[in-house]
A and B are shown apart, each in its own frame.
Chain A
Amino acid sequence: MTFFQLYTEGLPLILQPDVLLMTVGGVFMGITIGALPGLTVTMAVAILVPLTYGFSPLAGILGLIGIYCGGNYGGSVSAILVNVPGTPSAVMTGLDGYPLTLKGQAGKAIGNATIASFIGGFLSVIVLSLVSPVVAKIALGFTSAEFFAIGILGLSLIAYLGEGSFLKGLISGILGLVLATVGSDPIMGYPRFTFSQADLFEGIPFIIAMIGLFGVTEILVQVEKGDHLKKVSQALKNILPELKTLLKLFPTIVRSSVIGVIIGAVPGAGGTIASIVSYGQQKRISKHPEKMGKGSLEGIAAAEAANNSCTGGAMLTMLSLGIPGDAVTGILIGALMIHGLRPGPILFKENFEMVSAIFVGMFFANICMLVIGLAGAPLFARLISMPKRFLNAAILAFAVIGSYSVRNSFFDIGLMLAFGFGGFLMHKVSLPRTPIVLALILGPFIEDNLRRSLLLVRGDVPLFIHTLFTRPISLFILVFTIFLFIFPFIRQKIKLFQWFNFDNNSR
């Protein structure tokens, strides 16, 4: 495979009207949802998966990737305009964006955030397309022992999704793994925990769980909080940044993008950590650190480039190994499977055209984000002031229709509602919801590979453990996984993030 084949193989697939339309629509929807605080990109992707059934797999997947790319950027719009980050990863953007809005320079802040997001996203796709085929090629030689280790590595994401509590993240993840055992046993075919309900024989469809946990729960939580949004009070001017300013910011953007891609590839680290680390790094090396937090374009560029370059990093592990880099890529795995594609090394071998098309589609999505972001900024600013009841009511209706359309089953609507209410109760006791979904996706994969590995050693558990720790790749993966599991404790102990000192009063 040559360098150009990485992109030319999938190019003809991209140039289909439905694919182009879905990508543009996805990016637009993503920016809109990202800009509205309370509506998460995860929720949007989960709810909209069933609505992609009518399209070709590529159109459907790129529509969802468009939402992912657009949503990551969209969070910065409300962070800059009303100091309420639309997504958690935009929190650092607001530190410098909002002070600029107070100075009457909101347009300038949004323009720079858009360009930085675009460059970050674009660079991350280049890294993704160059590195993922290499990783996938290595992964082709994996046995069930390595895949079991990879599954466990995917679960290490739980350590970072506990919203402050590692223990609760683990509990939620184990609950998800238990729920993933519902349905036919992978080796014997015996129906487990189905209670004679035919709809459960194939297991709990994770898309149903996602819609309930991220769609319905999110709205119930918002309604309970009674979220209100601030009005945007200024017109946006001078959105297009000056070339001189851009050239000055370019090294910051490239540096932050590299940080973002690396952090994005670590399961669970995600855009929030990337933007915090990148912002901290920029403050450390900046010639004017005193200006950061008071309306510095450097701060905006560092946070936004890192945040958006995470998409490429997260997609890297998802496409080449089949493990999610974050919650959204977890849902994208589900979406790919629904469209008959299993992410992982086999996808590169058997469906390289599709992989190449995803690379090219991501480039296109980033270009769309740039154009829509710059041209549509005034519109998104107006949307932020719109009453959320319209969107919330529509989301609830979509959640119901989406659940039904998975298997044309009313049982699935009931199941989705049960997950929605369960998610609300989990919120009430501060139990994170994302690990459940992640475990539902990874659970069958882990059990299948674990039991196949045990089958190969005729049920000899000590021999299985010996195999795991003597095969170099599975050993490396397990050591890395153990590091990821214990990292939250190390971080807590040595207070790693205290080395950069945020001036919270400047917000």
Chain B
Amino acid sequence: MKDILTGIFCIVFSLFVFVTASTFPQSPKIYNSPAVYPQSLIILLIFLALTLIVSGILQIRKKPPHVQKPTNLSKPLWIFATLVGYLFLLSNVNFVIATFVFLIVIYRLLGGTWIAGAVFSVLLTVGEFIVFGFVLKVPLP
């Protein structure tokens, strides 16, 4: 089933890219046309996606998909949401506050306690600020 879904996604993606590339300026010279190369790739991708769909259907016919153990998706999704929140905080408040809040929440999500998380967050935020900002001279948000 996964293969069929992947194949369908690739075809939808390909159609979108193909249509977008069709709006690029055309040239009679193949090497001058910005659309030819991406469109050639897309044709190849559609062919591969169709192959994947067919092989997925054949696999299901041969062997019906077994019921998979449900996985815990909520944790990775929460972590991703926290990362998005971190991006929002970084662009609206300063680096130190944003990083402290982000680390404490992430640490908790990864199974740590609030107190240990707070200590860890303070140490890492200050450490990052000094090491990256001053020692390595990496620009901080």
Asked if B42 contacts A178 (CB within 8 A), the reply is yes
Provide the bound-state CA to CA distance between A168 and B56, in Å: 12
- Please report the total number of A residues contacting B with Cβ < 8 Å: 61
Stretch of A90-98, A425-433, A490-498, A499-507 that contacts chain B: A425-433
- Which residue from B20, B52, B136 sits with its C-beta under 8 Å from A193? B20
Asked if B30 contacts A461 (CB within 8 A), the reply is yes
A451 within 8 A of B: yes
Given contacts A192-B21, A454-B30, A454-B31, contact A167 B55 (CB under 8 A): yes
- Which residue from A174, A397, A414, A420 sits with its C-beta under 8 Å from B128? A397
- Which residue from A188, A405, A421 sits with its C-beta under 8 Å from B80? A421
B126 within 8 A of A: no
> Please, which residues of chain B bring their CB within 8 A of the CB of A185?
34
B111 within 8 A of A: yes
CB-based nearest B residue for A398: B128
Asked if A393 contacts B37 (CB within 8 A), the reply is no
Least Cβ–Cβ distance between A215 and chain B, in angstroms: 11
Asked if A408 contacts B139 (CB within 8 A), the reply is yes
Least Cβ–Cβ distance between A285 and chain B, in angstroms: 40
Provide the bound-state CA to CA distance between A390 and B3, in Å: 36
A223 within 8 A of B: yes
> Please, which residues of chain A bring their CB within 8 A of the CB of B44?
174
A177 within 8 A of B: yes
Given contacts A171-B52, A393-B120, contact A424 B76 (CB under 8 A): yes
Least Cβ–Cβ distance between A412 and chain B, in angstroms: 10
CB-based nearest A residue for B141: A404
Asked if A401 contacts B128 (CB within 8 A), the reply is yes
Provide the bound-state CA to CA distance between A454 and B32, in Å: 9
B66 within 8 A of A: no
Asked if A192 contacts B10 (CB within 8 A), the reply is no
> Please, which residues of chain B bring their CB within 8 A of the CB of A221?
76
A396 within 8 A of B: yes
Asked if B72 contacts A224 (CB within 8 A), the reply is yes
Provide the bound-state CA to CA distance between A170 and B17, in Å: 18
A220 within 8 A of B: yes
Asked if A451 contacts B37 (CB within 8 A), the reply is yes
> Please, which residues of chain B bring their CB within 8 A of the CB of A188?
25, 27, 32, 34
Least Cβ–Cβ distance between A378 and chain B, in angstroms: 24
Asked if B80 contacts A220 (CB within 8 A), the reply is yes
Q: Beta-carbon contacts of B100-124 to A below 8 Å, as 1s and 0s?
A: 0011001100111000000010001
Asked if A192 contacts B38 (CB within 8 A), the reply is yes
A50 within 8 A of B: yes
- Which residue from B48, B83, B136 sits with its C-beta under 8 Å from A396? B83
Q: Beta-carbon contacts of B47-75 to A below 8 Å, as 1s and 0s?
A: 01101100100000000000000011101
Asked if A177 contacts B41 (CB within 8 A), the reply is yes
Least Cβ–Cβ distance between A85 and chain B, in angstroms: 23
B93 within 8 A of A: no
Asked if B136 contacts A51 (CB within 8 A), the reply is yes
> Please, which residues of chain B bring their CB within 8 A of the CB of A1?
none
Provide the bound-state CA to CA distance between A192 and B29, in Å: 18
Asked if A171 contacts B83 (CB within 8 A), the reply is no
Asked if B120 contacts A390 (CB within 8 A), the reply is yes
> Please, which residues of chain B bring their CB within 8 A of the CB of A192?
21, 24, 34-35, 38
Provide the bound-state CA to CA distance between A226 and B55, in Å: 31
Asked if A401 contacts B6 (CB within 8 A), the reply is no
CB-CB nearest 3 A-B residue pairs: A389-B110, A185-B34, A54-B137
A–B Cβ pairs within 8 angstroms, 25 of them:
A50-B138, A170-B48, A171-B48, A177-B41, A178-B42, A181-B41, A190-B24, A216-B83, A219-B79, A223-B110, A224-B72, A224-B76, A226-B72, A392-B110, A394-B124, A396-B102, A397-B102, A397-B103, A397-B106, A417-B83, A420-B80, A424-B76, A429-B6, A459-B30, A461-B30
